[in-house]
Structure formats: structure tokens, C-alpha cells
Amino acid sequence: MTTPTAVPVRPSTCHVLKSWPASFQPIAAGAKHSELRQDDRGGFSVGDLLLLQEWDPERAAYTGQICLCLVTHVDGFAEAHTPSLRTANMRMLSVVLVRVVE
């Protein structure tokens, strides 16, 4: 009989991100379940949280609405299929809406 080995678990990270209304509103409504993001913050991983803050580009200000999402899948689709995005290090994130605060 073998002894099970412990698998190290990385604590989840909460990424605070600006989100424009065209992207934020469908996610907050539960209609959009993925997001293409530049991975410039050290990496997104399954289990991470995204704290999306709606940003109004016309007013150059936050609207006050926030949305908390759980990352359920990370895909390197853009890097594999769009060579011009490789240097941008983009990731497709599948997310589950946890909460919306207005």
C-alpha cells in the first residue's frame, strides 16, 4: 500500500481589473462567460478571482459597479492562433459570476 503524497496548492490570487461597459455588462448579467485579457500581471490561474470594476471611458471614472468572478479555465488560444498577440501574452479566461455589487 502506498502512502498518498500531499499536492501543493497555490493560494488563489485576486486580480483587480478595470472593465469597460461593453465587456462588464454582459459578464455582470451572466451572459458572457469568457474574457480575453492581456496577461501582464504575473499570470492568471484556475481558482483565481477577478474583481472587475466597471470603468466609463467617456467620464474617465469608475461607475461604482463591481463584479467578482472565479477563473475556471485559462486558455492560451490567442498565442496559439494569433501570432501577433504572442508578445502581448493574452489569455482567454472562462469565468463564473460570483457576485455583482451596484
pLDDT in tens, 8-63: 566 678 889 899 999 889 888 888 888 877 766 667 778 888 888 999 999 999 99
- Domains of the chain with bracketed CATH: 14-101 (2.30.130.30)
Cell numbers for 49, please give them: 478571482
Q: Which residues contact 58 (CB under 8 A, 6 or more apart)?
A: none
Among 26, 25, 8, 17, CA closest to 91: 17
More confident residue, 84 or 32: 32
Cell of 1: 500500500
Q: What amino acid occupies position 68?
A: L
Predicted structure pTM score = 0.71
